[in-house]
Structure 1
Amino acid sequence: MATLSSLDVNNITPAVVTWRWINETRFLVGPDPQIRDITITTRFDSQETLFDLNIPIRLKGIKTGTFLIVRVLPSSISSFDFIEAPSVPDEVRDKFHSSTLLLDFRLNQRPKLLVSVEADEPLSPQRTQSGAVLDALRELANVTVFSVYIANSATSKAQLQQIRHAISDGLFLFIQDDLTTMFRGTGGKIVTLPSSTQLPPPAYDETEPPPPPTPIYDRKRPRKDDREERDDDIALIWAKLEMIQTRHSEELYALRDENKDLKQEINDLRERLIESERKRQDLEEEFGSLAGLTSERVRELEEHTDVTFSEVWQDMGELTSEVNAMKLRIDEDELANRVKFRSSSSGLGNLTGPCCGYTLPSDHRANDGAPRRQQDQTLAVSWAIFGAVAVALAFAFLAATDTIPSDLTREWTMVSGMATTPSPSYIFSIAHQSIPASKCSRFHSPFSPILTCICI
């Protein structure tokens, strides 16, 4: 919780005052002289607690310029708050060129008006601008709700935050106004300003007769100005010129800084553009080399693919030839095995059976003690000899009996026309298939066992 001893706020800052009057928003921006500012004095410490609006003005009875004070004591404040102004009216924007804070005052009584004791009463302005200021003060002195615009700053916000807490906690220091020491020691007084609607018309006997008409001269004499007023006007002109020059100097410096920043930005952009152009050229060269390399690789790949496909087709042709040859060999081996099997199962059985009276030796029936290949070769040779003899005997017998079948003649003719000599097993199979068993049983000769084996 803040205390008055912990608060140390005492500053003066330019201000613009605004209030509502007869459903219109009013502003008090320019005092008299206009080269000066309306200021607000904020003091919250262990010595005083108050808000003072200091308004420069020229009043009758005071030879030099003076100011009128609108004093707000914390005891008269019912609520106080401040915000950052979201939008600023044109009247305020012309005064403050940066962001502003808006101080809202709600009072439970009208503010006090303090003026120098030298001022005539009722208060009367010396000049037109002071008259406009005095009319605005008549309205401001009769309202209890008004606002004050000030420049925004972190220090102001922090101090106002402390003041808001102090007012909400009811902390204030009662000060008995010491009017004798005010206004540079000349003393001050409290005045009241009735609103313009409350001013009564002047009494008839209080009105002064109009001045006599000015005599007409052929040559007009120049009017003598009051030296002090003339000096003030000259000072006002110089102040305005100085303000204009200061503003133009500030704008010039700002434009120079902006121009400098823009030049630096342009230089940076130029460097970035040069760097981008260099990178683009590098990328174009790299893309060109990649395109050439890609074309070369594609051509090599096409050539390699053509060669590979040719080799594959050649290999496929060779494999096809080998497969066909293997199929042919397999067919011949299967045929030979069938003939061999049928011959061995029929002829050999008959030769070794009761019909032939011949029995193979035990080394031909068993495979023990000899390689399989040697046995097969021996058996094939034996059967070739046996088949040739059997076919010769069969044909001799059939020729003697004149019973050679036409099918066997055709087969034999085909065999005789072969380019290579057929194997005895093939001849034996032809004889075996062509001679029916019914014919073999009718003949009786020394070769009957052989013929019987062929027929079977």
Structure 2
Amino acid sequence: MSTLPCLDFDVKTPACIEWRSNDATQWLVDPDPQRDHLMLESRFCNETSSASFQLLCPIRVKGIESQSHIICLIHTSSITSFDFEENPELPDPVRKKLNCKAIRLHLESCQPLDFIVPAAATEPVQPRKRLSGQAFDSLRSLAKASSLDIYISAREVSQIKLRAVCEAISRGVMKPFHTDIPALLASLYGSSGGKIVNLPPLRKNSSESPNDEPPSYADLEPPPPPDDCLLPQPKLKSPLADTTATAGGSNTKRRRLNDSGTSSDADCYRDILDTLCHMREGMQRLMERVEQLEKENQDLREELDDLRASCEKATDAIESDEAAFLEVHEELDELKVQVDFLSQGGLYSDAEEHLVEAVTDSVLTHMLDGGYNAKITIEKS
């Protein structure tokens, strides 16, 4: 089997999902909380010709107090078609969420997605908030899709690697990255474990047939009033008793409303605390980043000062070298003129005067010495 080029890489990037359901286009763009992103996590190994595809959707589910996510597992062996398109026309929800140049990955599968939740989540799996319910409805619709488009940033993966994946899937040589599903489930959620679940309908009336689509969270109506409110009230004998009973009934109803709203209020407070914690962590990270940038800025300033001082020294040295070079050049010019003059047999005036003086002194000295010797000879005779 020939090896596949450029197939060793990991991808974990924000994504948006698009699919068709009941002749209508559906998107999964905003999880809960909305400030987070739906993530595509993929791994590819050239040596083993294996790959994995997972979609991580942040969502709040009952039984898990902290923020968690649902994993949508796409079985590699079930992918019948894989293709991509660079710089496609983005739908408005996708463009607002990603806000960058994107690539659209097109997947077709012969097997539905598996949904994995933390092992501590209660069953049947239920969302804790209305926003989680809306994302939950989208996941229920996505579970029935056999074809989906995944939008990711164009900067995350090259076209060469995507073509290698397309070639591997078209040749049917791509294998699942994880073959031991129990071991995979045990390693998820910080090794606390996960489990594969079916997403149940949120509400089902007795008049619905088993194949009817359950209502979405956005379409749910308030629950009907309690049965005791529909019963006829007994006629009281006195207005005082009637007033007392009415007040008592009002208080009873108020207590019930307060009791029913306690859970939602607690969730609201918990969300506010989570938001404040995230804001505090974000501010702390920003402060640390600012301190780091200030330190780097100070180091750069000191380095810049050193460079300026070095440049000034180098400039002074260059100027000194230039002056010395000019002096040497002038001396060389003078020496050249002297050499040319001497080579033509010429003498400078100073040299001539010195030569005349030397010859004169020599002649006079010789004459004086000769006359002195002659006188001495005569006297001896």
Q: TM-score of the superposition, structure 2-length normalised? A: 0.54
Task: Provide the alpha-carbon RMSD of the alignment.
Answer: 3.4
Partner of 1:214: 254
Q: Tell me if structure 2 keeps the 8 A contact 1:4–1:44.
A: no
Q: CA deviation at 1:233?
A: 3.1
Q: Tell me if structure 2 keeps the 8 A contact 1:35–1:239.
A: no
Partner of 1:192: 198
Match of 2:273 among 213, 223, 231: 231
Partner of 2:180: 176
With a CA cutoff of 8 Å and minimum separation of 6, indicate the structure with the bigger relative contact order.
2
Q: Deviations over 1:132-182 (max 9, x none)?
A: 000000000111111100111384322211111111111223422121121
Partner of 2:29: 29
Q: CA deviation at 1:35?
A: 1.6
Match of 1:79 among 74, 78, 81: 81
Secondary structure class of the residue paired with 2:173: coil
Secondary structure class of the residue paired with 1:184: helix
Q: TM-score of the superposition, structure 1-length normalised? A: 0.46
Matches for 1:312-351 after TM superposition, within 5 Å? none
Against the structure 1 CA distance between its residues 161 and 121, is the aligned structure 2 distance closer, same or farther, given a 3 Å change threshold? same
Structure 1 unaligned segments of length 5 or more: list them: 217-221, 243-456
2:164 pairs with 1:124: no
Q: CA deviation at 1:28?
A: 0.7
Against the structure 1 CA distance between its residues 202 and 62, is the aligned structure 2 distance closer, same or farther, given a 3 Å change threshold? farther
Matches for 1:177-326 after TM superposition, within 5 Å? 177=181, 178=183, 179-193=185-199, 200-201=204-205, 213-215=253-255, 225=266, 228-235=270-277
Match of 2:59 among 25, 45, 57: 57
Letter in 1 for 2:191: G
Against the structure 1 CA distance between its residues 157 and 126, is the aligned structure 2 distance closer, same or farther, given a 3 Å change threshold? same
Against the structure 1 CA distance between its residues 65 and 71, is the aligned structure 2 distance closer, same or farther, given a 3 Å change threshold? same
Q: Tell me if structure 1 keeps the 8 A contact 2:88–2:103.
A: no
Structure 2 unaligned segments of length 5 or more: list them: 208-222, 228-251, 257-261, 285-381
Against the structure 1 CA distance between its residues 77 and 26, is the aligned structure 2 distance closer, same or farther, given a 3 Å change threshold? same
Against the structure 1 CA distance between its residues 228 and 215, is the aligned structure 2 distance closer, same or farther, given a 3 Å change threshold? closer
Q: Deviations over 1:417-444 (max 9, x none)?
A: xxxxxxxxxxxxxxxxxxxxxxxxxxxx
Q: Tell me if structure 2 keeps the 8 A contact 1:42–1:50.
A: yes
Q: Tell me if structure 2 keeps the 8 A contact 1:35–1:240.
A: no
Partner of 1:17: 17
Identity %: 33
Q: CA deviation at 1:31?
A: 0.6
Larger Rg: 1
Partner of 1:394: none
Q: CA deviation at 1:228?
A: 3.9
Partner of 2:114: 112
Q: Tell me if structure 2 keeps the 8 A contact 1:2–1:165.
A: no
Q: Tell me if structure 2 keeps the 8 A contact 1:2–1:162.
A: no
Q: C-alpha separation between the residues in 1 aligned to 2:38 and 2:172?
A: 28
Letter in 2 for 1:116: P
Q: CA deviation at 1:98?
A: 2.4
Q: Deviations over 1:268-292 (max 9, x none)?
A: xxxxxxxxxxxxxxxxxxxxxxxxx
Secondary structure class of the residue paired with 2:81: strand
Q: C-alpha separation between the residues in 2 aligned to 1:192 and 1:85?
A: 35
Q: C-alpha separation between the residues in 1 aligned to 2:186 and 2:68?
A: 16
Partner of 1:281: none
Secondary structure class of the residue paired with 1:95: helix
Q: Tell me if structure 2 keeps the 8 A contact 1:49–1:73.
A: no
Against the structure 1 CA distance between its residues 13 and 201, is the aligned structure 2 distance closer, same or farther, given a 3 Å change threshold? same
Q: Tell me if structure 2 keeps the 8 A contact 1:35–1:236.
A: no
Greater per-residue strand proportion:
2
Partner of 2:44: 44
Q: CA deviation at 1:241?
A: 10
